[in-house]
Structure 1
Amino acid sequence: MNWGILILLIAIILFGVLAFKGISALILAPLVTCFVLIFAPIFAGEDIAILNGLKEQFMPAAADYVSSYFLMFFMGALFGAVYQFTGAAKSIAKWLAGMCHGKFVAPIIMCITGLLTYGGISGFVVFFVIYPIALQMFRSANLTRRLIPAAISAGCWTWSMYGPGSPSIQNVIPIESLGTTPTAALVPSVIATVASFVMIFVWLEYRARSFTKRGYFFDDPRLKMQLSPEELQEDDPNEVLPNPIVALVPIVVILVLFNIVGLPVETAVFIGVALATILFFTRIEGGINGWIKVFNKGAADSGVSILNTAIVVGFGGVVQNTKGFTDLVNSLQNLDMNPLIFVMITVAVCAGACGSASGGMGVAFNALKDVYAALGANFEYVHRIGAIAAGTLDTLPHQGAQITLLGICKCTHKEAYFDIAITQIAVPFITCFIFIALASTGMM
């Protein structure tokens, strides 16, 4: 038995269990890191140097992540705040929801969240914007609330995250690490992304009908947490929102500037923020002072978001320097597997260890980029398979985003996690194998 690998496995389980209990990542990551720093050296026959490990491995990894991606988080959070407080995101969501006429409700929610996040709006912002809309649509269709968390998060963290041209951080990290482009391996990426979308769409619709046949409806006393009177109120039908077509303009501009013009994602989103501010300026009461409050909220959200991610990247920075991690990588290399399968497994494991797609991808690429090159893997394929694989084991129960969303939706893991796991672990893994099969033909 390799005790080093066992210690890492225990650390990941410990991370998941304590996160499940609601402990903040800001406390949890250093705590579990100390566990690794204490026990991993013992079984490797090395000296214990906890403080040195925290200062020389944990903090540099976390700080490097902040240094590399703060501007992206910052601009994305500002864009999200503008769309949230001006009603632009809600306008797009209601417009799309109106097209389904009460049919395919769960898949339509997935489509709405996917469109918003593909357009550069932070997933955490989308949670709060879409939940009330999802609640209204599920009530009208008399569908169980158990599917709401999966419907919302499937749009945020799957095809919109790893699709070609997406401004998501998972699509940006490979650009900076590997020197690829946003649309790397375009043709197989499009096919795999469409396949992912279709699988999730079909699953959500199947589950909605299955729940209804088994007697699970919107008003479900079996759910542990019931809705408040405020949540049971109908949306104001007379609420005035921006024109949805106008609301789509800044999103389209961001995608064009990022993918066609070739501007850095931070610059593209900045222009989108400026354009949205001009288009929706009168939507915020108080003029300049009102807008200052909107931007302050976005800036504050960006700080919390990147710090929670960076701190788990610090944990990953310690893990990648342990003998157990080296032994795990070596054992995988010795299996003589397809290089892209090796990329898939290592990125997925790192994402699971960090409870973060971007954090796990950052750790894997920093530690193993040279190994990927030595195995002869085409970096365009590595880019896409890494982006897809990062969205698999990051969705283990300890992922902070899922815990947050379940709290918003008033559902427990027992009630809603199965559909989250299918749409955001099983489907992305299937998507990985679809992409690998296409890549094996040399398709670009």
Structure 2
Amino acid sequence: MNFSVLVLALAIILFGLLAFRQMSALILAPVVTIFVIVLSGLPILDTLLGYFMPATSDYITKYFLIFFVGALFGAVYQFTGAAESIARTMGKFCGNHFVAPMIMCITGLLTFGGVSGFVVFFVVYPIALQMFKRANLTRRLIPAAISAGCWTWSMTAPGSPSIQNTIAMKSLGTPATAALIPSLIATLAEFLMIFLWLEWRARRFTAQGRLFYDDTLKMQLSPEELEERSSDNLPHPIIALIPIAAIILCFNALHMPVETSVTIGILLAVALMFKKVANINSWIEVFNKGAADSGSAILNTAIVVGFGGVVEQTDGFHYLINNLQNLSISPLVFVAVTIAICAGVCGSASGGMGVAFAALTDTYKGMGVSLEAVHRIGAIAAGTLDTLPHQGAQITLLGICKLTHKEAYFDIAVTQILIPILTLFVFIPLVSMGL
């Protein structure tokens, strides 16, 4: 193996190992970045200032408002009791059964409705927490249930407004519904596999005696998070759902920016449920909590994006991109492998797709592969190796859920690496058969 590529592989392994040792991303990302810089022979300070910090700050510039309004919305739903109201209603609907898969369905529908995955994290977590508490299920499954709905079938299905679909459309000139029939079949297969896995794992944890209250977890929940209100003090579930419906309507039907849409949702939530919080001072505390959550969440993600910004400047990264073009495998498999590797190195599905399409689109065309097939394979494959432990979104979600990689990452890996890979094994044969 080329030494410069070996450096990148070692960096990703080191990132994963230190993440499992519970090192903060704010320390982890700069440490591993410096490791890559030194072994790649780049100037340390110039590279940090010229690539690491600009990539980090660019991400904050682009997405801070999304994180900010999403965290505020989540805090409002937690402290007004709106999240608990929805959780109780959903619990009654499913009889407190299939709770983990139900959370996956909720997050998936919100994401498919156009709500940013990072906004969904904050909105759904308090709902998931209450549903898991009422069903007495271990919190270890909450991150997998939430992120599986955000980053799998809802992001890669035909017609999804996801960034993966958007990048493929712009890069290849294909429609959002590219390869419609095989895409629908593959999406259904992926949904069913994740649904069954989450339910099986929930039952297995319960049989092992791992329940909601678990003293072995490193981070315990605060009394405020565990507080359960009387039914009389909760907003009606329909009232609680109106701001969420408004966000989806504003974003999809009225085509407002996501920041504006969520802000409208916040204003509606405050107006409709103002009396559910004691007084003005308590409302200030609610918004302070949301603002603090948004700051830590975006920093944890942006700092990992900074690592990716440095990786893209290394000889190893360019060597890898150039040599991927020489792989002698089936054209459809070639598309999947190249995009998955790029996403893994970047720690980002969208970043990996952008790099792969910029470098390899002409190669894909030259191999005679249907661009609609490339579109869908790319969307699915980008959502595989991007979920290695150094992915910023997972670090953010684990922080929101107060869980560590050691406690929750296994189910994330199964639902968002293994099952999407199996989905490719469904999609590629269908396309090969001419569907």
TM-score range, shorter chain: 0.7 to 0.9
Equivalent residue for 1:418, pick from 406, 410, 420: 410
Q: Tell me the equivalent position of 1:99.
A: 93
Matches within 5 A, 1:238-387: 238=231, 240-287=233-280, 291-337=283-329, 341-342=333-334, 344-355=336-347, 359-362=348-351, 364-366=353-355, 368-376=357-365, 385-387=377-379
| Shift in CA distance, 185/235, structure 1 to aligned 2, threshold 3 Å | farther
CA contact (8 A) 1:166 1:255 kept: no
Q: After the TM superposition, which of the residue ranges 202-211 and 97-106 deviates more from structure 2?
A: 202-211
Are 2:335 and 2:377, in contact at CA under 8 Å, matched by a contact in 1? yes
Aligned to 2:125: 127
Partner deviation per Cα, 1:157-209 (whole Å, 9 max, x = no partner) = 43344455666666666678778887666665554333322111112223344
Alpha-carbon deviations, 1:78-131, whole Å to 9, x = none? 333333333323322221121111333332343344445556343145334422
Query: Which residue in 2 is equivalent to 1:193?
Result: 187
Question: 2:166, 2:262 → 1: CA distance?
Answer: 13
Alignment partners' CA distance in 2, 1:404 and 1:65:
14
Instruction: State the Cα deviation string for residues 325-347 of structure 1 (Å, max 9, x = none).
Output: 12212222111556664554444
SS of the residue corresponding to residue 200 of structure 2 reads helix
* Offset, 1:352: 3.4
Partner of residue 15, structure 1: 15
Unmatched runs of 5 consecutive residues or more in structure 2: none
Does the CA contact (< 8 Å) of 2:84 and 2:130 recur in 1? no
Once the two structures are superposed, what CA deviation does each residue of 1:204-233 show, in whole Å capped at 9, x if it has no partner?
Answer: 2233445566x5463999957697896998
Q: CA offsets, 1:357-401, max 9 Å, x none?
A: xx4522551574253255237777666545443432343344566
Q: Which runs of structure 2 are paired with 1:129-208 in the superposition (5 Å)?
A: 129-137=127-135, 139=136, 147-163=141-157, 189-208=183-202
Q: Which moved more, 1:313-322 or 1:161-170?
A: 161-170
Distance 1:364 1:209 in 2: 36
CA spacing shift, 1:361–1:398, aligned 2, 3 Å: same
Does the aligned pair in 2 maintain the 1:158–1:391 contact within 8 Å?
Answer: yes
CA distance in 2, matches of 1:134, 1:440: 42
- Deviation sequence 1:58-80 (CA, Å, 0-9, x none): 22322332333333333333333
Equivalent position SS for 1:242: coil
Deviates more, 1:432-441 or 1:228-237: 228-237
Tell me: CA distance 1:88–1:194, structure 2 relative to 1, closer, same or farther (3 Å).
farther
Contact in 1 for aligned 2:340/2:352 (Cα 8 Å): no
Is the CA contact 1:223–1:411 (under 8 Å) kept in the aligned structure 2?
Answer: no
1:253, distance to aligned residue in structure 2 (A)? 3.3
Structure 1's 162 and 94: CA in aligned 2 closer, same or farther, altered over 3 A? Answer: farther
> Which of 77, 82, 92 in structure 1 is aligned with 2:71?
77
1:40 aligns with 2:36: no
Shift of 1:263: 3.6
Point out the more displaced range, 166-175 or 258-267. 166-175
Contact 2:73 2:122 (C-alpha < 8 Å) held by counterparts = no
Per-residue deviation, 1:16: 1.3
The alpha-carbon distance between structure 1 residues 241 and 274, as it changes in their structure 2 partners (threshold 3 A), is: same
Structure 2 partner of 1:24: 24
- The amino acid that maps onto 1:134 is F
The one-letter code matched in structure 1 to 2:251 is F
Higher alpha-carbon deviation: 370-379 or 301-310? 370-379
- Return the alpha-carbon distance in structure 1 between the equivalents of residues 370 and 251 of structure 2: 23
Structure 2 matches for 1:221-240, cutoff 5 A? 235-238=228-231, 240=233
Partner of 1:218, secondary structure, is coil
Task: Spell out, residue by residue over 1:261-294, the C-alpha distance to the aligned partner (whole angstroms, 9 max, x if none).
Answer: 444433433433343343333433335x655554
User: Structure 1 counterpart of 2:120, which letter?
Assistant: S
Q: CA–CA distance in 2 between the matches of 1:367 and 1:81?
A: 38
Determine if contact 2:75/2:289 at 8 Å carries over to the other structure: yes
Give, in whole Å, the separation in 2 of the partners of 1:95 and 1:381. 40
1:6/1:225 CA distance change after superposition, 3 Å = closer
* Partner SS, residue 29 of structure 1: helix
Between 401-410 and 251-260, report the one with greater CA deviation: 401-410
Q: Secondary structure at the match of 1:15?
A: helix
Give distance in 2, aligned partners of 1:420 and 1:220: 21
Kindly state the Cα deviation for residue 250 of structure 1 after the two structures are TM-superposed. Answer: 3.0
Q: Distance in 2 between matches of 1:344 and 1:232?
A: 42
Q: How large is the Cα RMSD of the aligned pairs?
A: 4.0
**Structure 1: distance between partners of 2:185 and 2:314:** 38
Cα distance change, pair 94–210 in 1 and its aligned pair in 2 (3 A):
same
How far 1:3 moved relative to its partner?
Answer: 0.7
In structure 2, the CA distance between the partners of 1:389 and 1:240, relative to structure 1 (3 Å rule), is farther
CA distance in 2, matches of 1:303, 1:232: 19
What is the CA deviation profile of residues 32-55 of structure 1, one whole-angstrom value per residue up to 9, with x for unaligned ones?
2222121123xxxxxx42222222
